[in-house]
Amino acid sequence: MSFEVVRISRGDICLKDGGDEVRVLGEGLIRADENAPSFVVYLNSFLMLDADGWDKITESDKNAEIIASINSYFKKKHMVLDF
C-alpha cells in the first residue's frame, strides 16, 4: 500500500491508495516563522471511505503508512507538521 496526498484543506488531508480513500482531520495554521508547524494532524481522526460511509481506521499498520505519506508530502514542501 502506498497512500498519496491528493488534497489538503484548512480542516483535513485526503489521501488515496488505488480505490481506498482516507480522510485525516486536522487544522491548517498560519506559520509565525519557518520553524512553526503549518498543519496539525489529529491522530485519532483517521477515516476511510467504504460502502457505509466514513469509518474510523483502527489498524496501526495502516495508520503508520498514512502518517509516513503525510510526513513525506510535507517534507517535500519544506513545511513543518505537528501530530
Q: Got the DSSP string for 11-77?
A: SEEEEEETTEEEEEEEEE---SSTTSEEEEEEEEEEEEEETTEEEE---HHHHHHHHHHHHHHHHHT
**Tens place of pLDDT per residue across the chain (83 aa):** 589 999 999 999 999 998 889 999 999 999 888 889 999 999 999 999 987 889 898 888 889 999 999 999 999 999 999 99
